[in-house]
Structure 1
Amino acid sequence: MLCSVSLSLLAVATTAHAACSRAFLQEATAAYLQAQSVGKVGILALTSNVSYAENNTPIDIQKGVISEAIAIDFNRSIYDTVQCATFTELTATQQHPYVIHTRILYSDEKIRAIESVVTDTGDWAFNATGHLYWTKQEVWDPIPEGKRDSRAVLQAAGDAYLDQWGAPSLAVPLGTPCARLEGGFYTASTGSTLQANTCKMGAFPQPLKVGDRRYIIDEELGAVDIFNGFPWLEQSKPANYSTPSSNLFKVHEGLIRYIHEITVCATPRCGL
């Protein structure tokens, strides 16, 4: 009984410790963007045991893409005040083109973990110029306070989309219009014009179980990002290999409006 009570108290303490203000997360994101633009990790406030990983692989932070100066053409961030965490999408078309998804977790106003999905030439549907064009057309305004979805609703919408890959008959809450930006390919476009689209995925050759899900949730923006492992896609690996992937969703009134997906390939276009 004492052990059970102690664990319960620890869970409460951890949750209380994790929460932080939106203003802090916005300032911290600005610092991250500055560090990435000049390639200087030293300007960030890091814990002594900070962890850093790219494409599901822990590496030395001084050798990661975060230590490379990148001319960022566009960025979009969401803020999770409950977890004290942020998600940022970066698009870079100059020098070395990239589309990068990064999640950062904070503790006592210092970074305790950074994890990125880093895509560039050869990765699934990669086209940084196309990604930049289409992401700038989208509207990700805050949701009025009385109309915001709960964290549970936002997570459920994203989970349903990923779950449907393994259960094609599963209902997914897709809004109208809905658009999917996959690498640099836009499903709701004709030429340079946005069109209504359902975002519905076609059937995969085999049911896919998308695991290793890590969430960043922002009720104010109605957004959720899910880092995950995408099975089957990489043809040079066994079918159960989890390809590093990230899916960002914009949700309003429980319905998905935008999806951004980036996926890393071990071989050009994952061998397809």
Structure 2
Amino acid sequence: MSQWTKGAIGLSVALAGMAFSTNAHAECSRAMLQGLAATYVAAQAAGDPGKLPLADKAYYGENNLPVAIGAGVLSQPLPVDFTRSFLDTTQCATFTEITSATNAHPYVIHTRMEVNDAGKVTVMESIVTDDGDWVFGADAHLAQTRVEDWGEIPEDKRDRRGVLQAAADAYINNWGAPDLPVPHGTPCARLEGRIYTGSRNPEGNTCDMGAFPQPISTGNRRYVIDETIGAVSIFHNFSWIDAGLGPYHPGTPASQTFRILNGKNRYIHEVTVCTTPSCGRSRPGS
């Protein structure tokens, strides 16, 4: 990956974290967002950013850096081997996961878009992972993500937004405070880069992370929440909490996605960009 996707991230944190409006958008519908997500996937497949309806002065960024849209990964035609999107009509936003495992240069990309009342993209940012990023492996990621069930949930069985966000936040909050409870369901499986924990015990809870050698804090969380499929996307920047135990890594770009049923996590996906070799640590399977 070229330098602009791996470089210093501090310059763009404020831009990448532009706040969502807290008000619902009357003009925002699932059909409109679904069409926009499909347009994004088509644009990536064609390597043609011009397909996207961008608002004036729209922000585009990759891995927490502002990037000229014509110079980013969106300008590269990629085979889209699998894709999945979340649609958030409350915040008028979308999240899309793209796995391009058969490309000569494989990628797994997470993208979130904020949309105005006119249906134009005001903020678009991607976490773009490839070889050298945290436990990267597009083939293994593709094999697992395509068989998971993220289908629509009957309306009378859907969790409220607050319940969905709380379950997802609990998982990330636990990294910094391991005594905090996390509502994992059974089964629960985590797909972290190429590592799939569900193979250890398909019927059990394999989402528990256990205590980290150093607690981890996260900041600048940006959400997309889709009650219809019980899904949450969180873009964030995580770092070690400096406890004198090792190097401090501020603001590593990362994305977590969650499938939540009855208030409990069932699937968790993580993609993380390494701004230092192996993200500054070693881990079995990394």
Give TM-score scaled by structure 2 length.
0.85
Counterpart of 1:159 in structure 2: which amino acid?
D
Counterpart of 2:150 in structure 1: which amino acid?
W
Assess if the C-alpha contact under 8 Å between 2:25 and 2:89 holds in 1. no
Assess if the C-alpha contact under 8 Å between 1:174 and 1:257 holds in 2. yes
Aligned equivalent of 1:186: 196
Q: How far apart, in 2, do the equivalents of 1:176 and 1:227 lie? A: 25
Q: Cα distance 1:14–1:135, how it changes in 2: closer, same or farther (>3 A)? A: closer
Assess if the C-alpha contact under 8 Å between 1:18 and 1:84 holds in 2. no
| 1:113-150 alpha-carbon deviations (Å, 9 max, x no partner) | 10100000010010000000011121111111011101
Counterpart of 1:27 in structure 2: which amino acid?
G
Counterpart of 1:232 in structure 2: which amino acid?
W
Aligned equivalent of 1:7: none
Aligned equivalent of 2:9: none
Aligned equivalent of 1:49: 57
Unaligned runs of 5+ in 1: 1-12
| 1:33-69 alpha-carbon deviations (Å, 9 max, x no partner) | 1000011011111111110011111111111111111
Structure possessing the higher radius of gyration over alpha carbons: 1
Q: Cα distance 1:147–1:182, how it changes in 2: closer, same or farther (>3 A)? A: same
Q: How far apart, in 1, do the equivalents of 2:140 and 2:130 lie? A: 13
Give the secondary structure class of the aligned counterpart of 1:124: coil
* 1:255 and 2:243 aligned: no
Counterpart of 2:105 in structure 1: which amino acid?
H
Tell me which of 234, 243, 251 is aligned to 1:242.
251
Q: How far apart, in 2, do the equivalents of 1:127 and 1:31 lie? A: 26
Count matched residues.
255
Q: How far apart, in 2, do the equivalents of 1:126 and 1:19 lie? A: 39
| 1:230-271 alpha-carbon deviations (Å, 9 max, x no partner) | 2139xxx95151100000000000000000001000233224
Unaligned runs of 5+ in 2: 1-20
Q: Where in structure 2 are the equivalents of 1:24-103 lying within 5 Å?
A: 24-94=32-102, 95-103=104-112
Q: Following superposition, which runs of at least 4 residues in structure 1 exceed 4 angstroms of deviation?
A: none
Q: How far apart, in 2, do the equivalents of 1:135 and 1:16 lie? A: 31
* 1:267 and 2:271 aligned: no
Q: How far apart, in 1, do the equivalents of 2:26 and 2:100 lie? A: 31
Give TM-score scaled by structure 1 length.
0.89
* 1:117 and 2:127 aligned: yes
| 1:185-206 alpha-carbon deviations (Å, 9 max, x no partner) | 100115xx94433310021112
Q: Where in structure 2 are the equivalents of 1:67-216 lying within 5 Å?
A: 67-94=75-102, 95-107=104-116, 108-190=118-200, 194-216=202-224
Assess if the C-alpha contact under 8 Å between 2:24 and 2:92 holds in 1. no
* 1:23 and 2:31 aligned: yes
Give the secondary structure class of the aligned counterpart of 1:113: strand
Q: How far apart, in 1, do the equivalents of 2:264 and 2:188 lie? A: 9
Q: How far apart, in 2, do the equivalents of 1:197 and 1:241 lie? A: 30
Q: How far apart, in 2, do the equivalents of 1:211 and 1:157 lie? A: 17
Aligned equivalent of 1:8: none
Counterpart of 1:146 in structure 2: which amino acid?
D
State the identity %. Answer: 55
Give the secondary structure class of the aligned counterpart of 1:161: helix
Q: How far apart, in 2, do the equivalents of 1:257 and 1:59 lie? A: 34
Give, in angstroms, the shift of residue 18 of structure 1.
Answer: 6.8
Give, in angstroms, the shift of residue 17 of structure 1.
Answer: 3.8
